[in-house]
Structure 1
Amino acid sequence: MRALVPHTRSARGRRRAALGVMAASALALSACAQGGGSGSGGDAIQIGAIVAETGPIAGAGKTFIHGARIAQEQINDGDLMGGGRQLELVEKEGSEDPAKSASVAAQLAADQNIVASTCCILSTVAGAAAPIAEKQEMPLVLWGATDLDLASPPYVYRTVTMPQPANEKLATDVVDSEDIESVAYAVMTDNSGIVSQAEAFEQGFSDAGVDNKGQVGTLSTTTNFTSAATDLINLDADAIAVVGTQSNAVGLIAALDDKGYDGQIVSGQTISGSGVFDSQPRALEGVPFPVYFLASEATGMGADFADAYEAEYGEEPDDFAAQGYMAIYTLATAIETIDGEVTRQSLSDALGALEGIDETIYGTPVAFEDGQLTAESAVKPVSYTAPDGVIAPWEPAAN
């Protein structure tokens, strides 16, 4: 794609739609939407976005859509799709609830002016939205959702930078930098995507020759982590890998800190996000986690994105914002290759033919294989630094 032009801060307001219908009505709506949407209802090419600015993971949900909005503005400002074509995001709130998000997916599919949609942080939500996209033959780009094998061309694509290879690389980096001979695992066991992320940590530590001292399980409903922290400390491991959703992982890391665990804690990308460090600064300082995008080290296109994001939202973009950006940027990259009318079918064909993108905000090319984006070369071990919680390259022994 062409180079991005500098972003100028936008003051446009955006209207949120709050929808509260059930999954059954979603299926009924989707049955009315058969056909190949053409995007001909206006001058702009319309892309649906199922957002999660409310609900249990609204913190991450906001950064996803913030990144997507910056992408839309830069794509339009730079005429990146060619011919003066403009992109319009049609946002609807799904609150990262499977039933509500399925209903929203059906409403977007029923609008023949919308040629594709993007969504989903949780794998359960992706599992609810994907069948609707496939039935209606409308491309769906998943910007999150970490279960393996969710991409399913020709209609379901995924631009999330997967945490599994990032976790595996972090494990080997930590062993290379620290004197670690044994590791224990804290895993939120009722989320299959989290379990697969924990398995990636296990693979990395195992490949590095580290002894596995065992696992302590938690649940998404767990709120008191004292007992789990005690059980983990009793395993007497040099390191503990904490793998869970944001509130789960942060809660357990805090419990380990409260109980005086002095070994090496490592965690996943889920502990990144606005306000996370402020919630547990002492516990989180120096705990390494992997990211694909680090605003402070971004160059070129990535630096333009970071500057535009900070000007708009008053903080640096994180990995989730980058994933939101890349979902829209990937769609625009595919649209640029389409001669003539942009329809659901022509966009599906263009996405299916996409083998990679050379210039990205990650500072490295990305590849696509079976509808899944891969960018392992961009993985960076980082941690929060005191006193302000700035995310910076991880320094061994910092915690």
Structure 2
Amino acid sequence: MRGGVIEGGSCHHSPTAVLTGWLCEVIISLLIASKAIITTRRPRRRLNRYAASVGNLPRLRNPATSGGANPRGEFMERLSNKLTGAAAALALSLGGAAFAAPTPGEYNIGIISDDTGPIASAGISYHNGAELAVEEINAGGYAGDGVTLNLLVKDSGTDAARAVQAMTQFAADRSVMATTCCIITPIAGAVSQVAMREKLPLVIYGATREGLPQEPFVTSVVALPGPQEVMMAKELANVLDPKRVVYYVTGDNDIFLDRAYAMKEVLEEYGAETVAEISTLANDTDFTGPATQGMGADPDLILVMATQQPSVGIISALRERGFEGNIATSEVLSPPAIYQKSGNIVAGIPFALSFQPGLSSSEEATAFIEAYQEKFGSLPDVYAAQGYTAIQYMAQGMAALDGDPTREALAESMWQINEIERNLVSAGDPPDPRAIAGFVAERLASYKCPQEYEFVSELPRNALGKVLKSELQSLFTFSGKA
């Protein structure tokens, strides 16, 4: 390959409390009218009650036609009293405003980790990302002046019973303000029940089954399937023009089921036939049967949308049995440890992702990548980015509180967040060609590495959306420089 052309990009936007301009103007007007000085604290739920009270204000009467000595003065006095009360109610309803300040001190965050077990590679990355976030939060005072966070870790080994036990222990420890857990959907479901019952905030970072987030105690920093899956499916359809597709999914993880179905919908729109859907489980280790079944369907494209261990196992089983066709998967292949362990078996297989060194090049992402490499001696992956994001999410919720934090107040504060302030992925930042070149060089033989990169907003296509390869070649002339 002489050069590479990369189209577009994807961005995962996670939840941050944003105060809109018109709301600021309303508060300022109320404060001027009432001459009140107000400390904000609680979330925005009284806005509708405030709107109703304004609607019931008495109408201004014409002094020339109404009785009484000074109806305008009486009205203004009543209006001032109502505005004072309304301003207080409105300001109390706004979480995370400028006057909020949590009581200084150390607060514990519980992590139910997957440092061992079938998805340990992803779990360790998540744990590392969370640990780095805590260091940065404490150094920068991002959770509040004088507020520090401390991680308490309990390894579940991706076992549901151990995860529930760990969550129960965290709930009993009143020093634990919030927790995070779970790639596997059934484990997330079991742990979230404890979180709701014990009123302990839980941030889920992998499982995304509809209904898992529950107001206000169970939230998630992941919203999948994302645009990256749809974009990859379109590129696969345009470049490979597949006619027969086999899908491998992890049946006990809704996140990968949803991702597979999102890609399936796109590919079927482009005319690809689904010839088989093969379900495995997260803890499966023998993929001889599924590999044989998939190859028997005679596909020209196989999509592996499974958790890390099954994905590597399925791909290995397919290659060992002589399948030389096209395979695509997810970011579960992104950790460098996968390539060090599996070698040429997974080399050259494309995958979609929402964060990757070289592709995520915002200022926040660049700083995160450098800090992660310095601390852990390796590049971060998407799971490390999720761990970092989850703890930043908690810190942002904590910083919006006033006075002594409680679990209930923190849960309410986090539930109101719409965008995380320290986001690692920015849609507007172009990728860094040097970082991409370094990333590719670690995974491909030198003669396979692109020598130049060209970034474009879109590729030339015909009316059916197919890439016009002849026009594409005419647009770019590569110099052959490294």
Measured against the shorter chain, the TM-score band is 0.7 to 0.9
- In the aligned structure 1, how far is the partner of 2:165 from the partner of 2:283? 25
Q: In the superposition, relative to structure 1, how do residues 57 and 218 fare at CA in structure 2: closer, same or farther (>3 Å)?
A: closer
Residue aligned with 2:403, SS: coil
Q: 1:357 aligns with which of 409, 420, 426?
A: 420
Q: 1:137 aligns with which of 196, 199, 215?
A: 199
Deviation at 1:293, TM superposition (A): 0.8
Q: Is the 8 A contact 1:335 1:342 kept in 2?
A: yes
Query: For residues 71-220 of structure 1, what are the structure 2 equivalents within 5 Å?
Result: 71-163=133-225, 166-220=228-282
Deviation at 1:383, TM superposition (A): 13
Amino acid at match of 2:206: G
Output the TM-score relative to the length of structure 1. 0.77
What residue number does 2:378 align with? Answer: 315
Give the superposed CA RMSD: 3.2
Amino acid at match of 2:333: I
Deviation at 1:155, TM superposition (A): 0.5
- In the aligned structure 1, how far is the partner of 2:202 from the partner of 2:281? 30
Residue aligned with 1:183, SS: strand
Amino acid at match of 2:442: D
Deviation at 1:67, TM superposition (A): 0.2
Q: In the superposition, relative to structure 1, how do residues 154 and 286 fare at CA in structure 2: closer, same or farther (>3 Å)?
A: same
Could you list the structure 1 runs, at least 4 aligned residues long, displaced by more than 4 angstroms after superposition. 190-193, 219-222, 382-387, 392-396
Q: Is the 8 A contact 1:82 1:336 kept in 2?
A: yes
Amino acid at match of 2:265: Q
- In the aligned structure 2, how far is the partner of 1:219 from the partner of 1:81? 39
- Please give the per-residue CA displacement for 1:145-183, whole angstroms capped at 9, x wherever unaligned: 233331112100001242465433321232133332331
Matched, 1:287 2:349: yes
- In the aligned structure 1, how far is the partner of 2:281 from the partner of 2:159? 18
Output the TM-score relative to the length of structure 2. 0.65
Query: For residues 259-270 of structure 1, what are the structure 2 equivalents within 5 Å?
Result: 259-270=321-332
Query: For residues 294-313 of structure 1, what are the structure 2 equivalents within 5 Å?
Result: 294-297=356-359, 298-313=361-376
Residue aligned with 1:44, SS: strand
Q: Is the 8 A contact 1:167 1:204 kept in 2?
A: no
- In the aligned structure 2, how far is the partner of 1:225 from the partner of 1:56? 14
- In the aligned structure 1, how far is the partner of 2:269 from the partner of 2:210? 21
Query: For residues 53-64 of structure 1, what are the structure 2 equivalents within 5 Å?
Result: 53-64=115-126
Instruction: Between 120-129 and 324-333, report the one with greater CA deviation.
Output: 120-129
- In the aligned structure 2, how far is the partner of 1:289 from the partner of 1:219? 20
Larger strand proportion of the pair: 1
Identity fraction in percent = 31
- Please give the per-residue CA displacement for 1:360-398, whole angstroms capped at 9, x wherever unaligned: 111259xxxxxxxxxxxx9xxx999777338x99999xx
Q: Which runs of 5+ in 1 are unaligned?
A: 2-39, 366-377
Higher relative contact order (CA 8 A, sep 6+): 2
What residue number does 1:51 align with? Answer: 113
- How many residues are treated as equivalent by the alignment? 343
Amino acid at match of 1:389: R
Amino acid at match of 1:109: A
Deviation at 1:42, TM superposition (A): 8.6
